[in-house]
Amino acid sequence: MFHRSTRHDAGVTSARPLAGEAIATGAQALDSTREFAAQALERAAEKMRDLRYGVADTASAAQRQIGRAASATRDYVAEQPVRSALIAAGVGALVMAAIVLTRRQRGNRF
């Protein structure tokens, strides 16, 4: 009872190659997206490695600097014990005076 027209068959036949091309194009787009994402992830990982090594280098340099300062301080105190004690007492007195003045200006008492 149903009779297909030749025109309908021709439309289906011509649509199949288009569908195949659309699938192939979609697959290529997906592959390109995967490749782009993989490259972006690799670049991000590389930057993180560089950052980690940079932080480690900075921390190491800071540790060396602190070590040199501590050594110099230790040597000075060993060579000049009385002078070191007087300097420490003077600095302590200045800090205490600053605290007292700040509290008085605010109206706070100990």
Looking at the structure, tell me whether residues 74 and 92 fall in a common domain. Answer: no
- 70-90: pLDDT as tens digits: 999 999 999 999 999 999 999
Q: Specify the pTM.
A: 0.44
d(CA 91, CA 73): 15
- Domain span at residue 92 reads 81-110
- 52-62: pLDDT as tens digits: 888 889 999 99
Looking at the structure, tell me whether residues 69 and 89 fall in a common domain. Answer: no
Helix orientation angle between 81-106 and 6-79, rounded to the nearest 10 degrees: 120
In a domain, 3, yes or no: no
Grade residue 11 by pLDDT with cuts at 50, 70 and 90: low
